[in-house]
Amino acid sequence: MQPSLTPLQTNEIQKRPPQGPSMWCRSRTKRMLDPVLALTGLITSAPVMAAIAVLVKLTSPGPMFFRQLRVGLGMSGITILKFRTMFNVAGGPGVTPSGDKRVTQLGHLLRKAKLDELPQLFNVLIGDLALVGPRPELPKYMAALEDHQLIRILQVRPGITSAATILFRNEEQILSTVPPGEVENFYLSKLLPEKVQLELEYAEYATFGSDLHVLFRTIMAIFRGSAAYRLNISRGHSVAGSGTAVRDERTVSEYDRTREEHGNTTANR
């Protein structure tokens, strides 16, 4: 059982300046391990990906894959790859609420299971993404971040999945509660800042073990669906309220333990 922090230790930890990404996030081991695991994932999921590609092509007009410019490590531009889940039309917000008419029938299924993200294993293979890291955002969304968040988030290689990805797994449902004309503004003012803060907190204390935990939860999400998660609305706010997040508390247990251990060590130095 871990010792609890005293009020003095808690205050000292809260006063600490942000440390930036953990040693694990910056390590050569993580950088070398990601492509190996990505290649393994591509080989293992090849039959599924082939079937999805054929279904995408047969069920709606347009290409099999969707390509989009996102912001990567150090403000570099990266092109992420996904299975196309929308009709091949231009326009609309860069975020997608549940029930968005741009999404195809097959797309709804792929997005719910996150199977549309599988082609991003190729992005990991070439070094644009990590397996676990902050989700890469559109340039216009990154430009909306406060300077202190932007500087820190650009120090971390973006990833396919993250703690915030799972915590905000029902993001599309949250966005569907917002009036259509306010969806993008709500995302920028409410959801994105909290997601980025969670990403930064995770990156500061991330370890090999916490990354494995996130990957495990992601795989469970794919195979078991959203029913596998015990969701609750944090802070007692309504879904469309300020600072709202719908979270699976089990997902962050590993990084919370790491953070507390790190905090105890720092406070006793």
pTM of the predicted model, to two decimals?
0.76
pLDDT in tens, 61-70: 999 999 999 9
- Residues 189 and 193: their CA atoms lie apart, in Å, by 7
- Residues 65 and 80: their CA atoms lie apart, in Å, by 10
The runs of H, that is alpha helices, within 154-252 are 163-167, 171-176, 183-186, 192-205, 208-224
HEC string of 37-64 equals HHHHHHHHHHHHHHHHHHHHHHHCCCCC
β 246-247/232-233 pair status = antiparallel
- DSSP code of residue 114: T
- Residues 189 and 197: their CA atoms lie apart, in Å, by 13
pLDDT of residue 68: 94
- Residues 62 and 86: their CA atoms lie apart, in Å, by 9
pLDDT in tens, 141-168: 999 998 888 999 999 999 999 999 988 8
The one-letter amino acid code at 97 reads P
pLDDT in tens, 174-190: 999 999 889 999 999 99
| Helix/strand/coil percent split, the chain, to 5 | 60, 10, 30
